[in-house]
Amino acid sequence: MTTGTTVQSEDFSTLTDGTPVRRWTLERGGTRVRVLTYGAVVQSVVVPGRDGARAEVVLGLPDVTAYETYTGPYFGAVVGRYANRIGGGSFVLDGRTHRVTANEGRNTLHGGGRGFDKRVWDAEEVPDGVRLSLVAEDGEEGFPGRLAVSVTYTLDEDGALRIAYRATTDAPTVVNLTNHTYWNLAGADSGSALGHELRLAAGRITAVDGESIPTGELVPVEGTRFDFREPRPVGPGYDVNYVLEETGGEPAAELYDAASGRLMSMRTTEPGIQLYTADHLGDGPFVPCAGIALETQHFPDSPNRPEFPGTVLRPGEEFASTTVYGFSTR
């Protein structure tokens, strides 16, 4: 298949149970992206800096054994069926209570005990990239409906990474998908990513309780450490959902490393972004705050918050979401 993006695939490794995992490499316009069929993981993104030198800018692991070992940080994975948290490990849909796997205390995080990050996806080449797909059966982790999911990674003409999510169901369910890549524009091996400058087109956050479950209140960021409407350095201690505003086509977020000159911009169809500074890294190969996650998403606990943008998917409908990561220098 001839495209503007060079697309290659190779045998990568096998899981401990012997299941094979393949790696897909996309390259175009100075950007190289590597994606694994395990967890639909973005293992690598290499882009140039101000001086033209290319560097690895995401936190990736060297083999599948490492991904199986360090599951908690969700390095680069697609998470679902419901990204972020569901309070109390349950929700009511059409009058029926569904109890889903609680894997963070009494709450559900990123799809439960065996979410999409721990599955091996099918893969096929498409123009300019690769499409990964899987089927989550009715009742997996307690979620209703047989859900067919695809995630397509492509590189645009300018080397931007485009992630397009699609899903359909045979019964009413809830869906919230995101990619959990950690970014360090100074280089994945450079230590802490704190000090990167961040801008977010968001004037409010979703307030949470002591278990990180939304209270339902949308709190203005003005005058607080959560205000990134103008670019400023990122400090530690962030794990919060931002309520995105209409941008008129401008990026919803920009992350910048002054030393290398690398600038990453994000455009998304999603209503929120979770900013996570990964303070709890350190048990594995990376130091605390080695990368910054910007997870485009619907809001946490939306199935229990009818006032939030809806996450219900019904038969005959299609879930569709797109996020684009652009790379440049200044």
DSSP string for 266-317? EEESSSEEEEE--TT--SSSS-TTSSEEEEEESPTTGGG-TTSPP-EE-TT-
Q: What are the residues whose beta carbons fall under 8 Å from the beta carbon of 216, sequence distance 6 or more?
A: 207, 305, 307, 308
CA-wise closest residue to 119 among 41, 13, 24, 23:
41
180 flagged as catalytic: yes
Q: What are the residues whose beta carbons fall under 8 Å from the beta carbon of 62, sequence distance 6 or more?
A: none
Give the chain's end-to-end CA distance (angstroms, integer).
35
Report how far residue 306's alpha carbon sits from residue 323's, in angstroms, rounded to the nearest whole number. 24
The label of the residue with tokens 């990134």 reads 228
Q: Which class for 246: exposed (0-12), middle (13-18), buried (19 or more C-beta within 10 A)?
A: exposed
Q: Which amino acid belongs to residue 8?
A: Q
Catalytic residue among 141, 270, 295, 298: 295
Dig out the tokens for 135 from the structure. 């089927």
Residue 254 has, within 13 A of its CA and on its CB side, a CA count of 19
Q: What are the residues whose beta carbons fall under 8 Å from the beta carbon of 246, sequence distance 6 or more?
A: none
Dig out the tokens for 177 from the structure. 């998908």
Q: Which class for 227: exposed (0-12), middle (13-18), buried (19 or more C-beta within 10 A)?
A: middle
280 flagged as catalytic: no
Catalytic residue among 110, 180, 196, 298: 180
**Residues labelled as active-site residues:** 180, 295
